[in-house]
């Protein structure tokens, strides 16, 4: 890796850390408070969006901005693929679980649509995507860097040591899986976005398990969903003749 790539890599990583942790550091100091949930959500994700969008535009150009993040194509394809793949989770949760009693429309939109989109934008589109596609990092280091932080960011879901460890491992492996799908679908970020959104919707809308890791029922259908994505993705890549460059 040459000096320019090292400098750009450092800028991207530092920008990511600012976006992800800046709010947690600055907000308590400023003692900010918001009157509505909508304002809190907008403020929280503005930390993710503004610095990453500005730095990406400055480094790689504002022209073709959406292409930098894999958002310029494949919207319908990503949605159709994802709704088919996640349908086992949605149908099984609706059949066995109960609709959560303490949810509202804003809460559902936040936990599914907004969180799913923004996490894929920040972790896969910005951090992994720019390091792997623009700076030619190997897939493993680029994916693992985001996976570790992604896993750490979900530790709050665990209630004990073993559950927290399990949450970290599952979410970290999920981050690598999302990164693989992003690349295999010809750099189409809409694929992991819709998968993430619909999987979050299944967990947010239906109450099936009392633990973050889920019980045997949820995990069986989660495995079915993952297996479907792998099988269909491999078939798609062969059919389209798409052979991504895979520096390891």
Ranges of the chain with pLDDT below 70: 157-158, 207-217, 242-248
Whether the CA torsion 137, 138, 139, 144 is positive or negative: it is negative
pTM exceeds 0.75, yes or no: yes
Query: What are the sequence ranges of the domains in the chain?
Result: 71-240
User: pLDDT at position 73, please?
Assistant: 95
Neighbouring C-alpha atoms within 13 Å toward the C-beta of 98: 5
Dihedral angle of Cα 235, 237, 239, 245, to the nearest 10 degrees: -150
User: pLDDT at position 209, please?
Assistant: 60
User: pLDDT at position 64, please?
Assistant: 92
Give yes or no for a contact between 171 and 154, defined as CB atoms under 8 angstroms apart.
Answer: yes
Non-local CB neighbours of 99 within 8 Å, separated by 6+ positions: 205, 206, 207
Neighbouring C-alpha atoms within 13 Å toward the C-beta of 206: 18
Report residue 43: phi and psi, to 5°: -65, -45
Give the CA distances from residue 95 to residues 90, 107, 214, 225, in Å, rounded to whole numbers and listed in that order: 9, 22, 16, 16
Which letter does DSSP use for residue 140 in this model?
H
User: pLDDT at position 56, please?
Assistant: 98
User: pLDDT at position 193, please?
Assistant: 98
Buried b or exposed e, range 124-149, using 16+ CB within 10 angstroms: bbbbbbbbbbbbebebeebbbbbbeb
71 CB neighbour count, 10 Å cutoff: 20
Non-local CB neighbours of 133 within 8 Å, separated by 6+ positions: 187
User: pLDDT at position 150, please?
Assistant: 84
Return the SS3 of 187: coil
- The two tokens of residue 125 are 């589109």
User: pLDDT at position 154, please?
Assistant: 73
161-184 vs 190-205: helix crossing angle, rounded to 10: 150
User: pLDDT at position 43, please?
Assistant: 95
Non-local CB neighbours of 128 within 8 Å, separated by 6+ positions: 142, 143, 145, 146, 179, 182
Q: Which helix (H) or strand (E) holds 16?
A: helix 3-30
Q: Which residues pair with 98 in a beta bridge?
A: 207
User: pLDDT at position 160, please?
Assistant: 76
């Amino acid at each position: 890796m040459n000096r320019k790539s090292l400098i750009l890599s450092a800028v991207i990583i530092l920008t990511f850390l600012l976006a992800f942790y800046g709010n947690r550091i600055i907000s308590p100091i400023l003692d900010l408070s918001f009157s509505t949930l909508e304002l809190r959500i907008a403020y929280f994700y503005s930390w993710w969006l503004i610095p990453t969008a500005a730095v990406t535009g400055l480094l790689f150009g504002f022209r073709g901005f959406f292409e930098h993040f894999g958002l310029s194509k494949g919207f319908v394809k990503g949605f159709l693929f994802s709704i088919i793949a996640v349908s086992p989770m949605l149908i099984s949760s609706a059949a066995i679980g109960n609709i959560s009693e303490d949810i509202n429309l804003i809460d559902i939109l936040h936990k599914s649509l907004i969180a799913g989109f923004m996490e894929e934008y920040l972790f896969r589109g910005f951090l992994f995507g720019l390091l792997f596609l623009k700076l030619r990092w190997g897939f493993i280091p680029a994916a693992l860097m985001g996976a570790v932080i992604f896993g750490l960011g979900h530790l709050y879901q665990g209630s004990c040591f073993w559950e927290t460890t399990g949450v970290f491992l599952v979410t970290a492996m999920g981050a690598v899986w999302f990164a693989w799908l992003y690349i295999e679908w010809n750099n189409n970020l809409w694929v992991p976005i819709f998968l993430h959104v619909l999987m979050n919707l299944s967990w947010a809308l239906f109450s099936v398990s009392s633990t973050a890791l889920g019980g045997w029922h949820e995990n069986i259908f989660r495995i079915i969903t993952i297996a479907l994505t792998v099988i269909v993705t491999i078939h798609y890549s062969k059919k389209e003749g798409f052979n991504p460059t895979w520096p390891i």
